[in-house]
Structure 1
Amino acid sequence: MSAAREPEYRDGHGFIVEVIRTRRRKSADIRVEEGAVSVVVPLDTPVEKIDQLLASKRSWVREKIALHQEAVPVRAKRYVSGEAFSYLGRNYRLKVETGNFAPVKLTNGRLLVTVPAGAEQPHIVRNALVRWYKRQAEQKLQEKVTRYAPMVGAHPAGVSVRSFKSRWGSCTAKGAVEFNWQIMMAPTRMIDYVVVHELCHLIRHDHSQAFWREVERVMPDYQQCRDWLRANAAKLVFDAP
């Protein structure tokens, strides 16, 4: 298995673009998802060509970002130094520095992000944080699925991270499991429960007594986890007022 590539970013002048290089594409594709911008390009695409593409699509990207900002509710967060963000059940203070954009780092008990100075700074900070949470989710949820799948007796076809409005996970018709990246704000044991819950759905596709017996067999304390998530769900929304 090859080592994961370091994240690559370009300054789009008003927004930050994540560059995703892949052998599976022969042409470039710009995406704006949840206000975060990414460009998927063939593996050997030079940065000059990427910058040219971004310059030609800058108005379109800004329009998409503006539409996203209008669609989301008014946020309680301002994405400034000192604000607290939960990760694995513990609060960490945000520290924003000005300079060349750098991905979020969890260091010395703080979430550190370096962004260019400018009017769009809060927007860039938010997207940097969302990207960081998603990256952590991709890694840790894959590890947990690998750990729990043999205990459950399930064989998931894949693991992916998504944005869900009102649920923590889901199973696809093809037998893959999907998880809401915002579960990374919950304590580790709650994440374990969500993973076991979805893996058990690969065996039992309902919420029958037989399903809950499967969950209990792997997690005898599942009911406490289930109750905790119900009681705290509103706190685990990234932009909660």
Structure 2
Amino acid sequence: MLRLFTRKPEVQERRNITLTLDDGATLDVLMQRHARARRIKLSVDERGARLTLPSRASERAALDFLQAHTDWLQAQWRALHVDAAQPLRVGITSALPLRGENHSIEWRPARLTRLLVTDEGVRFEVRGLEGLSGQPATPAVHRALRDFYEAQARGDIAHWLPKYAAGLPSPVSRINIKRMSSQWGSLSSSRVMALDLALILARPSAFEYVLVHELCHLIHHDHSRAFWREVEHRFPDWRDERDYFHVQGRQLKATMRMLCG
């Protein structure tokens, strides 16, 4: 007799807990039971705060753990957002981050919603600007901003890629640019490269390093010494860029999330 077994879901239960911070602001903490969790764990990143507990842990113990670590959580959350951009407001936001710098925005009404790079900064053309001025960004505005950032990122990649193509056993089959929760890049077994959209907010040398890092995985599919020797050969200053991401990485991801919704 053939029996079908269904895999037990790893995340078994989840709900939000609203935490009131010292300044009166509120923060939603996602509490979830996880089948693979061995202890209660509190974490925070650009997506929010999460309280993870094992399947058999009591909810009271998890809430006590959260209460005991509230000061730490507040400090981490504020440090993550202190330098992050504010949510995009039509006609109000005065600058956009791009390639490690802030560029002034000129808002203009237009038939199409799009962004253009000008000598003075960035021009944000918005359909129906008069009626939207001062309001939070609409889905069309968010989409235009994401398209703009992706186009800028692809332009940088096209500029750098020929420099590093020599010596690769095969070319990348496709490059996808998307928002990634924790990684900055990846390379699949079918040679599809994924790069985080937030890289376009970083200084160009850091973005270039991530591209080189993933290209080197075409030669070595792990992080062996041979892999790092290949990275060193192609990008000698890679350690500086890795340190840059350790310091600035969470802010970059938080800023992209804040701007693009």
TM bin (shorter chain): 0.5 to 0.7
TM-score by length of 1: 0.62
Cα distance, 1:171–1:200 mapped onto 2, change above 3 Å: same
Pairing 1:78–2:88 present: yes
- Is 2:237 aligned against 1:227? no
> Which residue of 181, 188, 193 maps to 1:165?
181
Corresponding residue number in structure 1 for 2:257: 239
Contact 1:79 1:125 (8 Å CA) reproduced: no
- Structure-to-structure mapping, 1:79-158, within 5 angstroms: 79-80=89-90, 81-117=92-128, 118-119=131-132, 122-123=137-138, 124-150=140-166, 155-158=171-174
Q: Which amino acid aligns with 1:186?
A: A
Aligned residues: 170
Distance 1:190 1:216, change over 3 A: same
Shift of 1:134: 0.8
Q: Structure 2 length normalisation: TM-score?
A: 0.58
Q: Which amino acid aligns with 2:137?
A: P
- Compare CA radii of gyration and give the structure with the larger one: 2
Where has structure 1 moved over 6 Å in runs of 4 or more?
none
Q: How far apart, in 2, do the equivalents of 1:154 and 1:89 lie?
A: 31
By how many angstroms is 1:152 displaced? 5.4
Deviation for aligned residue 1:106: 1.1
Consecutive unaligned residues in structure 1, runs of 5 or more:
1-71
One-letter amino acid of the structure 2 residue matched with residue 84 of structure 1: A
The 8 Å contact of residues 88 and 136 in structure 2, kept in 1 or not, is answered as no
Q: AA paired with 2:144?
A: A
- Give the match for residue 4 of structure 1: none
Distance 2:177 2:136 in 1: 26
* 2:154 is equivalent to residue 176 of structure 1: no
Question: Please, which of 218, 233, 254 is the counterpart of residue 217 of structure 1?
Answer: 233
Aligned-residue offset at 1:153 = 5.6
Q: How many percent identity over aligned positions?
A: 27
Q: How many angstroms apart in 2 are the aligned matches of 1:89 and 1:239?
A: 16
Residue 177 of structure 2: SS of its match in structure 1?
A: strand
The runs of 5 or more residues in structure 2 that have no matched partner are 1-46, 49-84
1:218 Cα shift?
0.9
> 1:154: Cα distance to partner?
5.2
The separation in 2 between residues aligned to 1:225 and 1:231, in whole angstroms, is 10
The one-letter code of the counterpart of 2:164 is: Y
- Check 1:151–1:224 CA distance in 2 against 1; reply closer, same or farther (3 A cut): farther
Given that 1:161 and 1:179 are in contact with CA atoms closer than 8 Å, whether structure 2 keeps it comes out as: yes
CA distance in 2, matches of 1:84, 1:100: 22
Question: 2:200 is aligned with what amino acid?
Answer: M
Q: Which range is displaced more, 154-163 or 133-142?
A: 154-163
Residue 220 (structure 1) shift: 1.1
Structure with bigger RCO (C-alpha 8 Å, 6+ apart): 2
